[in-house]
Every structure is written in C-alpha cells, then in structure tokens.
Structure 1
Amino acid sequence: MSAQQLWDNAASMLAVTEKHPFLVGMVNGTLSNDSFKYYIVQDALYLRDFADCFRRLAESAGSEEDSKQLQASAIGAIEAEMMLHGSFFKEWDNSAEGAKQMPHTLLYTSYLKRVVATRPHKQGLAALLPCHWVYMHVGKRMVKLREGLGECTNRLPQFDAWIDMYGGDDVEEKVKAFIKLVDAECKVATEEELKEMQEHFNMCCKLEHMFWDQASNQMEWPNLGGM
C-alpha cells in the first residue's frame, strides 16, 4: 500500500470537498468577506496545534533524516501559511490573538493531537497528511476554475492570494516531500496498521470538509446561560 492508495480510497469524499461552496465561492467571488475573515482566524488557531503535532512527530521519527525532513518540509509549509495569514491580518488590522477555537476547529485539532500523542508514529503521519494534500489538491483545482472563469470583478485580492499559494509550486514541492515520508511508513506497515492509517486519513478528510462548513456558516459556540 502507498500514500496514493490512502488518497484513492477516500476519492468519493474528496470529490465532494473539491466542490465545497466555500472554495467555489472564493473563485467566483460569491464568498462573503466575513466568512473568509472568520476562516482565516480559525485557520491560524488550527495551525498552531498543527505545528505542535509536527514538532512531536519530528521527535518520534525513526531517524535523524526523517526528523529533519519533517521539520523542513512540514514546518516550512506551516510558516509560509502563517505568513500569508499575517499579511491578511495586517491588511484588516486585526489578528487571531484572543480568539477561541470554534467547535469544528477544536474537534479537528483535538483529534490530531490525540492520534499524535497516543498512536504510533506512522498513524500520526497519516492523520496530518490530508491537511497538506487536500489544500494542494483544491488549490490546483481552484486555479483551473479561475482560469476558466476569466476576469472576475467580485473576487477579493485575498482570495487570489490564497489560491495562488495553495495552487502553487512551492506548496506542491513540500507536500510531495511529506507524501514520501508517509509512503515509506506504508511500505513497512502491517495490514492492521494500514487499516488504522486509512481510518485516520479518512477522518481528517471529513474534518477538512467540516472546517470549511464551519467557516461558511460562521459557526459559534452555543450560548448556554450566558456562557
């Protein structure tokens, strides 16, 4: 089995996600700026925990080479994403400081942290893979959709910046490097381990979709007794 097979086995749900209204709305300019700002704040909060998961995986890697590659390819990608988010915050004159993780953000990060902390190294890699791979995949799809639409006066410049990054060559290079790490683990995994890796991969593909659902709806925690 390979990382590609993890992806192929999740093809039906990925086909739905690549058409998510949040993503399509970024391309055709129908996504509200408020939903995008909500998403960027939540994504910045998500990335902090995502980066922590990668630091932990780098520590548990089976070789110094793998540890360095995790830090170079994965953390490098996260830093690039945070720079993009930072540029948006500067333009909007706000930040993620003081913001709280909303329900699906907390659900996603909690799941990742649990897998990384309590399951074998290879399962942690499989759980973190969808975030990188799905973003690269939808980014490239969005580039093609944008090209097909031609000029769109409704699309905000921040939308184009997001599409350009995730549909670009730099992200693709880093994602492919991480896929190779997962491939190496797949080759030495037992049948039971591969099954668990697929389960984590599938779950995180679902959580990716739910993350964009949350932003589309600008979900908030329920107000229970004023708390």
Structure 2
Amino acid sequence: TRSFWDASSATIAAAASHPFLVAMVDGSLPMAKFRYYVEQDSLYLKDFGDALRLLATRAPTRDAAARLDGFAAGADGAERALHASFFAGWGIKDGALPRQAPHTLLYTSYLLRVCATRPYAEGVAALLPCFWVYAHVGDAMLARRTREPTERPPQFDAWIDMYGGDAFHAAVRDYRALVEDAARADPAATPRMAEHFATACDLENMFWTQALDGLAWP
C-alpha cells in the first residue's frame, strides 16, 4: 500500500491542505458549509458501509469477511454516531436528509461499482483512501490546531478528534493490512489497485470542494 500512497502523494498533500479543512481548524468555515458536508458524509457512509458488506460476501477467507463486516459496523457506529450528535444539535432527523449531491453520488457509485464488478483486490483498494487519507488529514489538522490555537465551534473539534484519534488510526492500520493481504494474494491486480486508490483520493478532494462550493443539482 505504500507504493499506492507514494504514487498519489501530490493528491494526498492537497487533501491535507484543502481549504475546507484549513478553515475548520482556524474556525473560519461557515457552519452552513460544515452542515452541508456532514449531511453528505452521512449519506456517503451508508453506501460505504454497503460497499464493505458487499466485499465481505466476496472475500477469499472467513477472516477477511469478518474483518470487512467489522469495518462496516464501525462506519455505522462511531462515525455515524458523531453525525447523529451534530444532527441532534441542528434539529435534523436522519430521514430528513437531502438526496446525494453530485460528487457524493459520483463517489459512492464508483465505489459500489468497483466492489460489485471488479476483482476483490481492486475493491478493497478503492475503499482504502476513506480510511487512510482521513487519518492523514486528521493528523495534519491536530498538528495545525496545536500550533495555531484559536476558538472554533465544538463540532469542528469533535470531527478533528475523531479522525486524528487513536481508535481511527488503529482501524486504518487493520484495513491497510487487509489490502496488503489482497495484493499479495493477487499480484497481477496491483496496477489496477493503485489506479482505484488514486481515483478515490481525487474523489476525496472533490468531496470537500463540493462542500466548500455548496454544489447543487441544476
């Protein structure tokens, strides 16, 4: 997986300094843009969990299947619980969420297609950026928050603490190990795995840009 990361290093560096995330740390991000992001991320996570469960049905071993189901439960649990706490503060019920915005639909459709129609190894690689890139930006945001202390909404700090926290980093290490197992089992798939990883990294940046721009359907 390190070779995937190195090949996409420019995109990942752009993620760590994305204006949306920088504005979260310095407290200048309008709450309406953060709310848009959280609503879309909640919709994304539903499909992300489905993609993980789909891969579990295609996993080469019972252990891999159980681990994928566990990752899906994690997405359904801690991350969506964080969203639920935000929604409660905003008076939003889960059923009242909007439909997926254009880049949300693009990203989730891509992941579900890869996980359903491509070899298992390609599917696990396509989902890796949602783990690894988020941990990376979480670390960058924690470091920036320490260097540049300022007041910001508590929702921003809760988000930074989630993705910069030890529990999420442990999940990332476990998921990377799963992807590395898949690459060892199917070396011929490695180039395509790297392509899917790169595409998903691009889609991560597009997702944050979408929230910053408030992208809507025509």
TM range (shorter): over 0.9
Give the alignment's Cα RMSD to 1 decimal.
Answer: 1.1
Q: Give the structure 2 partner of residue 7 of structure 1.
A: 5
Q: Give the structure 2 partner of residue 179 of structure 1.
A: 176
Q: Residues 43-78 of structure 1: CA distance to partner in whole angstroms, max 9, x if unpaired? A: 000011000000111111111111111122343144
Q: CA deviation at 1:106?
A: 0.3
Q: How many residues align?
A: 217
Q: Residues 143-169 of structure 1: CA distance to partner in whole angstroms, max 9, x if unpaired? A: 00000012x12x100000000000000
* Letter of the 1:86 counterpart: A
Q: Residues 89-130 of structure 1: CA distance to partner in whole angstroms, max 9, x if unpaired? A: 001111342410000000000100110110001100000000
Q: Give the structure 2 partner of residue 221 of structure 1.
A: 217
Distance (whole Å) between structure 2 residues aligned to residue 76 and residue 185 of structure 1: 21
Distance (whole Å) between structure 1 residues aligned to residue 55 and residue 199 of structure 2: 19
Distance (whole Å) between structure 2 residues aligned to residue 139 and residue 78 of structure 1: 19
Contact 1:126/1:200, CA 8 A, preserved across alignment: yes
Determine whether 1:165 maps to 2:162.
yes
Distance (whole Å) between structure 1 residues aligned to residue 207 and residue 79 of structure 2: 16
Alignment of 1:42-191 (within 5 A): 42-98=40-96, 99-150=98-149, 152-153=150-151, 155-191=152-188
Q: Give the structure 2 partner of residue 225 of structure 1.
A: none
Alignment of 1:16-55 (within 5 A): 16-55=14-53
Distance (whole Å) between structure 1 residues aligned to residue 185 and residue 3 of structure 2: 15
What stretches of structure 1 move > 2 A for 4+ residues in a row? 95-98, 188-191
Q: CA deviation at 1:17?
A: 1.2
Distance (whole Å) between structure 1 residues aligned to residue 76 and residue 137 of structure 2: 17
Distance (whole Å) between structure 1 residues aligned to residue 91 and residue 193 of structure 2: 41
Alignment of 1:182-201 (within 5 A): 182-191=179-188, 193-201=189-197
- Please identify which structure carries the higher helix content: 2
Contact 1:105/1:211, CA 8 A, preserved across alignment: yes
Identity, % of aligned pairs? 47
- In structure 2, list runs of 5 or more residues that go unmatched: none
TM-score (norm 1): 0.93
Q: Give the structure 2 partner of residue 207 of structure 1.
A: 203
